[in-house]
């Protein structure tokens, strides 16, 4: 067994809000192996983005705070690093790609400078050399005519091209791990496929791992090796992708699969929605966060939170009841 590249253990992140203290991420643990693509899937408020931001130590403090846990990356606990050392990790060995490329790119700097910056910062490449490397990187993410586009500004790029620039920046220092938080949600479907295919291909080439944060079960099916499903700040089920889709063992996962229309299913098949509303993190029930919406919830579900337990090889879930397949 290879040593995992990243081990997240018991991560808990809380926010102080006007409505009280809420636990956005609650005792989350998972591993990412070298070269592996792991997807965290969940709806708004499930804690998937906060998990990613916690690993990068980008939680705004206050109001947020990483309360406890470890994130062991290549043998070092990221949560124990001082801010200077953490800055040496971000964009270097761990890179992040955000949903909205326009708000993550600096509108006042040329694209070339922004792609070259991590090389200058982390690798000490002189600017002239870094710009040369930036040109090569833009070529790798298939930006046509890269040489002449180095001097352009982000607003002169289309949405898809901006996300390619973000990927080029992320790849600049050959990171071991790329975290992509809803990288294509803002893009058109044909462009979405281009960008994710490119990202997958490049991580395969460089052997880096990918942590993909998404709400889209189709994207997970197409690109992920392993999946963690989050609900109300917790991982409720985790398994290899093929296993999860074939044998979902948590009622929420099962509910999600029944509620989405699929291009390949019988079009007349009625959708079976999950009743009720997503949980309010400020008013989570005492028991399982999904219990108010769960069709098979019993009294124990409403009293205490089910722990994540192994049900098969590499397959865990947090549910007290047997789930009908």
List residues near other proteins by CB under 8 A: 43-44, 158-161, 188-194, 197, 215-224, 241-242, 245-246, 255-257, 259-264, 267, 270-275, 277-278
- The CA distance from 18 to 120, in Å, is 42
User: Strand locations in 187-285, DSSP E?
Assistant: 209-214, 226-231, 234-240
CA 16 to chain centre: 23
Instruction: Round to whole Å and give the CA distance between 153 and 151.
Output: 7
By C-beta, is 147 or 271 nearer to other proteins?
271
Nearest distance in Å: CB 22, other proteins? 16
Q: How far is the CB of 38 from other proteins (least distance, A)?
A: 14
Nearer to other proteins by C-beta: 273 or 300? 273
Identify the CA nearest to 28 among candidates 323, 307, 239: 307
- Closest contact distance (angstroms) between CB of 269 and other proteins is 8
Nearest CA to 99 out of 137, 139, 48, 149 is that of 48
Residue 270, φ and ψ in degrees, nearest 5: -70, 145
Residue 148 CB, nearest approach to other proteins (Å) = 17
| Least distance from other proteins to the Cβ atom of residue 229, Å | 11
Q: Find all residues with CB under 8 Å of 309, minimum gap 6, and list them.
A: 316, 317, 318
In the complex with other proteins, the residue whose CB is nearer, 41 or 172, is 41
- Order of strands, edge to edge, in the sheet holding 76-77? 20-32, 6-17, 64-73, 76-77
| Closest CB to other proteins among residues 171, 274 | 274
At closest approach, how far in Å is the CB of 122 from other proteins? 31
Structural element, H or E, at residue 159? helix 159-171
Taking the complex as a whole, the smallest distance from the CB of residue 130 to other proteins amounts, in Å, to 28
Q: What's the rounded Cα separation, in Å, for the pair 91 and 119?
A: 9
77/201 with CB nearer other proteins = 201
Nearer to other proteins, 82 or 266 (CB): 266
Q: Under a CB-based contact definition with an 8 Å cutoff, are residues 238 and 30 in contact?
A: yes
Distances (CA, A) of 184 to 71, 98, 134, 197, 209: 26, 9, 22, 11, 18
Residue whose CB is less far from other proteins, 55 or 217: 217
Nearest-angstrom CA–CA distance, 1 and 3: 6
What token pair was written down for 5?
Answer: 């590249």
- Based on CB atoms, which residue is closest to other proteins, 46 or 125? 46
Shortest approach of other proteins to residue 290 CB, angstroms?
10
């Amino acid at each position: 067994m290879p040593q995992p590249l990243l081990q997240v253990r018991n991560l808990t992140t809380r926010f102080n809000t006007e409505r009280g203290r809420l636990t956005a991420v609650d005792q989350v643990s998972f591993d990412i192996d070298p070269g592996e693509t792991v997807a965290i899937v969940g709806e708004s408020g499930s804690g998937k983005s906060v998990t990613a931001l916690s690993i990068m130590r980008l939680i705004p403090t206050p109001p947020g705070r990483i309360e406890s846990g470890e994130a062991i990356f290549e043998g070092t606990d990221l949560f124990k690093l001082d801010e200077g050392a953490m800055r040496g990790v971000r964009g270097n060995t761990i890179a992040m790609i955000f949903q909205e490329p326009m708000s993550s790119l600096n509108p006042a700097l040329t694209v070339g400078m922004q792609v070259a910056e991590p090389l200058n910062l982390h690798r000490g490449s002189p600017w002239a050399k870094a710009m040369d490397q930036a040109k090569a990187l833009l070529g790798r993410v298939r930006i046509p005519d890269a040489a002449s586009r180095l001097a352009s500004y982000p607003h002169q790029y289309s949405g898809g091209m901006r996300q390619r620039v973000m990927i080029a920046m992320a790849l600049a220092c050959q990171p071991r791990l790329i975290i992509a938080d809803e990288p294509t949600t803002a893009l058109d479907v044909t462009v979405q496929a281009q960008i994710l295919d490119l990202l997958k291909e490049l991580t395969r080439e460089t052997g880096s791992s990918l942590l993909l944060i998404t709400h889209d079960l189709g994207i997970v099916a197409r690109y992920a090796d392993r999946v963690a499903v989050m609900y109300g700040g917790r991982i409720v089920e985790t398994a290899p992708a093929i296993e999860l889709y074939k044998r979902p063992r948590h009622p929420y996962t099962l509910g999600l699969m029944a509620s989405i229309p699929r291009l390949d299913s019988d079009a007349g098949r009625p959708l079976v929605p999950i009743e009720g509303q997503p949980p309010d993190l400020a008013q989570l029930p005492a028991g399982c966060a999904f219990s108010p919406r769960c069709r098979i919830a019993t009294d124990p579900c409403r009293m205490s939170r089910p722990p994540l337990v192994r049900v098969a090889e590499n397959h865990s879930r947090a549910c007290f009841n047997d789930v009908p397949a």
